[in-house]
Structures are given as structure tokens and as C-alpha cells.
């Protein structure tokens, strides 16, 4: 299983989304008190580093 994303569920609880490396199945797992907060924030910010569209304005020729 590899962590691929973080989501927030009721009462602001963070949940990790894991994907199975063999079959691709997704699983939700609650975060624990001893989880590395910096790694959780990095995982949560990952979509901001790879937007599905270009951020620059098209250049005029």
C-alpha cells in the first residue's frame, strides 16, 4: 500500500488514502497521533504542485 492523498472527514479528522501496489484498490485509514505531520501536509499539498492545467498565460506571438 502506498499513501496517495489526504482527505478530511467529519469533525476535521484527517484520513489517508492508500492505493494497493498490486491491485490498485483504494483504502481509507485514519491518521494516528504519531504520524509525521510534515509528511501529511506535504501529501495534502501535492495536488497544488501538479495542477491539471497550465498556470502561465498563453504567450502572444
Provide the pLDDT for residue 50: 76
Helix ranges (H only) for the chain are: 37-49
Q: Please, what is the average pLDDT of the chain?
A: 87
Beta pairing partners, 26: 19
- Looking at residue 12, its pLDDT comes to 86
Confidence label for 19 from pLDDT (cuts 50, 70 and 90): very high
Residue 24 has pLDDT above 70, yes or no: yes
Alpha-carbon gap, residue 17 to 54, rounded angstroms: 26
* DSSP character at residue 61: -
Closest CA to 6 of 43, 46, 50, 57: 43
Average pLDDT on 8-30 reads: 92
pTM for the model: 0.69
For residue 25, what pLDDT is reported?
A: 95
Amino acid at each position: 500500500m502506498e499513501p496517495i492523498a489526504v482527505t478530511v472527514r467529519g469533525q476535521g479528522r484527517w484520513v489517508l488514502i492508500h492505493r494497493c501496489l498490486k491491485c490498485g484498490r483504494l483504502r481509507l485509514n485514519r491518521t494516528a497521533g504519531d504520524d509525521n505531520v510534515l509528511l501529511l501536509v506535504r501529501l495534502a499539498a501535492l495536488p497544488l504542485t501538479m495542477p491539471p492545467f497550465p498556470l502561465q498565460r498563453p504567450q502572444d506571438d
